Amino acid sequence: MNKPHILQVGPYPEWDEVPLNAAFTVHRYFNAADKDSFLSRIGPEIRAIATRGELGASRAMIDACPGLELVSVYGVGFDAVDLPACRERGIRVTNTPDVLTNDVADLGVAMMLCLSRGMIGAESWVRDGSWAKKGLYPLKRRVWGRRAGVLGLGRIGYEVAKRLQGFDMDIAYSDVETKPYASEWTFVADPIALAERSDFLFVTLAASAATRHIVGRDVISALGGEGMLVNISRASNIDEEALLDALENGKLGSAALDVFEGEPALNPRFLALDNVLLQPHHASGTVETRKAMGQLVRDNLAAHFAGKPLLTPVV
């Protein structure tokens, strides 16, 4: 029996590539020198797209595949997939939620601890001999007992807040409505008001047109010169120009960031700052989670072509 033809937008680890190749006829978009010509040639054969959250699938890519039935996203974010184009043609979309939730929450809390306690600089202080030559490392700020705000109390935001409880923090959250599973935390409807009452503001929202730059100048200003912004969601949720301005002029204390506009070519202004912790979009970057993500991508593809219900549908 002929294997379904799929378009692979970006590379996966070898442990995903091998079973993907075994189950499907895979066309690697990322290896094509002339991508437009490549799509024009193989597009009519494509029945599914396997992509990554940050790569998505544009309308042009979708239009180049007239027989497209499914877009399977490796990642929880699907904002880079043109959902209106998919809905217009009845194309299904899946992602990989839940399997990465806890690792993303872990990294968000680790970033808070690392930046608040100055751990990167402290390690250099030991390695470069400053400890021996200059004495004790400059004092940093505590985490326990302080005020945390979680902007977006979905799967990841909930797990972040659960972890913050272990530090005896005063926890509040913003979302479209109160959450029945968060009765012990304070609901603050307005993101500006949430930032105003927070020492640490975690951004854990799903990205959409409605949330673009939801963390803008007003929210950043409300967080203030002693506050820390932690983003483990999508870059589009933050107004980067406003963030950079505030970090440079002291209107915001610090930021810990795992995502950036135009990544990996981030704005060079970030590199000149010593009050920001930069991470390479790897919140889900553990062996265990990445294997589970790849399996879920393949399971959704297999379910679709077997005529079974999709495991994690978005559209």
**Known catalytic residue at 263:** yes
Chain mean position to CA 252: 22
In the sheet that holds 92-94, the strands lie side by side as: 25-28, 5-8, 48-52, 70-74, 92-94
Of 5, 47, 146, 281, the catalytic one is: 281
CA distance 102 to 232: 12
Of 141, 197, 263, 269, the catalytic one is: 263
Tokens 């409807």 -> residue: 189
Provide the β-strand partners of residue 149: 172, 201
**Known catalytic residue at 234:** yes
Task: Kindly report the backbone phi and psi dihedral angles of residue 215, in degrees, each rounded to the nearest multiple of 5, phi listed first.
Answer: -95, 90
Of 5, 92, 155, 234, the catalytic one is: 234
Q: Where are the alpha helices (DSSP H) in the chain?
A: 14-23, 35-42, 59-63, 83-89, 101-116, 119-127, 130-134, 155-165, 191-196, 217-223, 240-249, 287-305
> Residue 22, SS3?
helix
CA distance 211 to 217: 14
> Residue 109, SS3?
helix
CA distance 53 to 70: 15
Task: Kindly report the backbone phi and psi dihedral angles of residue 82, in degrees, each rounded to the nearest multiple of 5, phi listed first.
Answer: -75, 90
Q: Which residues are CB-neighbours of 313 under 8 A, at least 6 positions away?
A: 92, 93, 94
Catalytic residues: 234, 263, 281
